[in-house]
């Protein structure tokens, strides 16, 4: 069964960090939450993926981040995975798949994997075993109303029903918003991106 993956990240942030491109001393885009959905060609959901990740350089979440995402320090400390373990597990989920983001989340993922390896930590599964694609330019071009949308608001700006429980800036909810937008565009005639190679994960594992 051909499938592909959509994913979203939440990473450490502070008030004004976006405007400064995380340029203040000590501010890094350390991943705190990973959300992903494995989808069929009709954009129906096959499988969910969600994980909390404990940041290393800034292990204490800012009040701004908690207010934005709803992720509190106690929950992160209790349920978060070590960074290298979480990244390897997520890459395993993506293995052999086309993996879509709405923005350059794959760059943030690559940064975090690089930092983990520089600390001498093993990240299982390779970054190059999946095909990461930022399809925000394509999506904005076929649905110009989304040009100013973040991923968690795609469903709203396209006038769609709320796709899941939760709110924007929760990685898994944002994935459902993303998937809902793709399903709508596919049904409206825009289709899926012509450059998107769908993959049979079982065949990819056997290769």
**Is 203 among the domain residues?**
no
The neighbour count for residue 3, using CB atoms within 10 Å, is 21
**Is 206 among the domain residues?**
no
Q: Give the C-alpha distances (Å, rounded to integers) separating 200 from 96, 98, 179.
A: 8, 10, 19
Mean pLDDT confidence for 151-172: 96
**142 — alpha (psi -120 to 50), left (phi > 0) or beta?**
alpha
**Global pTM value:** 0.92
**Is 56 among the domain residues?**
yes
State residue 207's pLDDT score: 44
Separation of alpha carbons 18 and 174, rounded Å: 18
Structure tokens at 121: 């930590």
State residue 91's pLDDT score: 97
Mean pLDDT confidence for 176-189: 94
Can you point out the beta strands (E) in the chain? 3-11, 31-40, 45-54, 81-82, 98-101, 131-134
Higher pLDDT: 127 or 14? It is 14
Separation of alpha carbons 22 and 57, rounded Å: 14
Q: Give the C-alpha distances (Å, rounded to integers) separating 7 from 48, 77, 118.
A: 10, 23, 25
CATH number, position 33: 3.30.420.10
Q: How far apart are the first and last CA of the chain?
A: 16
199 pLDDT higher than 70: no
Cβ partners under 8 Å of residue 17, min gap 6: 24, 27
Residue-range definition of the domain harbouring residue 56: 3-192
203 pLDDT higher than 50: no
State residue 145's pLDDT score: 97
**Is 86 among the domain residues?**
yes
200 pLDDT higher than 70: no
60 pLDDT higher than 80: yes
Tens of pLDDT along 112-135? 999 999 999 999 998 888 999 999
197 pLDDT higher than 80: no
State residue 103's pLDDT score: 95
State residue 201's pLDDT score: 54
198 pLDDT higher than 80: no
**Is 198 among the domain residues?**
no
Tens of pLDDT along 95-112? 999 999 999 999 999 999
**Is 11 among the domain residues?**
yes
Q: What is the DSSP pairing of strand 3-11 with strand 45-54?
A: unpaired
**Is 174 among the domain residues?**
yes
Report how many domains make up the chain: 1
Closest by alpha carbon to 100, among 143, 66, 77, 131? Answer: 131
């Amino acid at each position: 069964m051909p499938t592909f993956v959509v994913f979203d990240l939440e990473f450490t942030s502070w008030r004004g960090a976006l405007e400064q491109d995380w340029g203040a001393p000590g501010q890094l885009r350390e991943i705190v939450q990973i959300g992903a959905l494995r989808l069929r060609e009709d954009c129906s959901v096959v499988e969910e993926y969600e994980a909390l990740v404990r940041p290393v350089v800034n292990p204490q979440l800012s009040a701004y981040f908690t207010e934005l995402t709803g992720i509190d320090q106690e929950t992160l400390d209790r349920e978060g995975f070590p960074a290298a373990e979480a990244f390897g597990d997520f890459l395993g989920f993506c293995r052999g798949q086309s993996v879509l983001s709405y923005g350059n989340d794959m760059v943030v993922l690559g940064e975090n994997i690089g930092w983990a390896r520089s600390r001498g930590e093993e990240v299982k599964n390779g970054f190059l075993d999946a095909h990461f694609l930022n399809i925000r330019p394509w999506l904005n071009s076929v649905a110009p109303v989304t040009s100013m949308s973040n991923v968690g608001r795609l469903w709203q700006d396209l006038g769609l029903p709320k796709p899941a429980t939760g709110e924007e800036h929760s990685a898994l909810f944002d994935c459902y918003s993303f998937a809902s937008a793709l399903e709508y565009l596919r049904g409206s005639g825009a289709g899926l991106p012509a450059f998107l190679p769908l993959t049979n994960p079982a065949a990819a594992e056997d290769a």
